[in-house]
Structures are given as C-alpha cells and as structure tokens.
Structure 1
Amino acid sequence: MPFIALSSATLWGLPYADTLLISYSLLIVTFLAGMLWSMSLQYQQPIWLVVFSNLIMLASWGLISIHNMPGIFYAISVLFIALYLVESFTLKDLYPKGFFALRSQLTFVAVLSLLTTQIAS
C-alpha cells in the first residue's frame, strides 16, 4: 500500500519521500471528495454535501501549494477524517455492500501512516 511504503520511506529519510506522501495523500483526498460530490448529486442529497466536497478539494489544492508547512500531515489527516465522518453519517447506506468497511480500513491505514510520519518527523 502506497501510504505505508511512503511513510516508511519518509521515516528512513529517503529523498523526496515526504513530498511524494503529501502529493499522493492529497490526490486521494481529492478523489474521495469527488466521489462524495458525485454520490451527493446522484442520490439527490442535501446541497451542503456538494459544498463540503468542494471545500475539501480546495483545501487539498491549497495544501499542495504549501507542502513544506509544519503540521502538514496533521492537516491532511483532518481532511481524511472529515470526509470519512461525513460519508459515514450521510452516504454509508448508499454504497455497495462491503465498500464502506473497506473504505474504513483504508482510511485508518492512511491516517495512521500520516500521523506516524508527522509524529516521527
């Protein structure tokens, strides 16, 4: 899994591993926000979900431009957790069976990798 590999590479001090972890993480956050946007429109959910998904995307794009910010891995973790919580309260039952369980596990691994990297650096 890229999160574990890039987090490990960052902790080992490999050049540019931290930048790759930030970029990959924000790419995934943006993809998940786009998925929330799509599901919100497809299932005629409240408009605030569309606005929320766009705010997450804008936050991701903002963070990629200041990738050397102290606490960047905390900030990205907050985006992952915010998306997960919103989806778990609004769209969880609309996803195919088993999808949200997998999504939960992957989000846990991503956040754990990001927080480990932040704490260790």
Structure 2
Amino acid sequence: MAAAFLTRLAGDRVEVRSAGSEPTDKLNPVVVEAMAEKGIDLAGLTPKLLTVDAVRASDVVITMGCGDTCPVFPGKTYLDWTLDDPAGQDIDAVRLIREGIEHRVRTLIADLGITAV
C-alpha cells in the first residue's frame, strides 16, 4: 500500500521499490479491494523478496517491523513504521490501515520536499 501511494503521489520524482523480508505468494485480496476504492489497481502484482541490493540502492528505507532481517547500510535514512498487519483483517480494519499509510506517505513526501501530484 505504501509503495502504491508513493508511486501515485510522487510520480516519477521518486523511484519506488517495494519488498518484504518474508513475502507471501500473492497480495491480500482485502488490501487489493481497499486500494481499488482509492482508484489504485494492485491486481496482478505479486510481493517481492527484499534484497540487499535494493536496500543498498535506496536513499530512504521504510521498514514495517522487519527488525534484524533488514540490511542496514551507513548513510541511508531508515524509518520504521509501526502498523497493524492487514492479514486476516476485514475491509473496515484494512481501510483504517490504508488511511494511516496514506497519511505517512504524504508526510514523507512533504519531508522530502516533494509536492504531491
């Protein structure tokens, strides 16, 4: 959800990489539904494994509780966003998580000095 919001709101001014330390084989269908309500189509996307190279190539790394499994490199900005996991949640709970993520992404964009599209 964060990557999708960042891609939509920052456009081509930010290169977005999305990956997880323990990705599942498919996206949560409730997340796909919740994002579709915002006009963001996640259907057909698949989760990706976080790689050391992806972190090394990034300026800002946003983690969501991956702890010691996330590689750390000097000179990178690391933000850990504590969020509820949408797995097993109903649509109302996922909407709340989605809104929290969108707010954080908008704040990040502003902190980076980027005007949201």
- Same topology, TM > 0.5: no
Question: Who wins on radius of gyration, i.e. which is larger?
Answer: 1
TM-score, length-scaled by structure 1: 0.31
Which protein has the bigger strand share? 2
TM-score, length-scaled by structure 2: 0.32
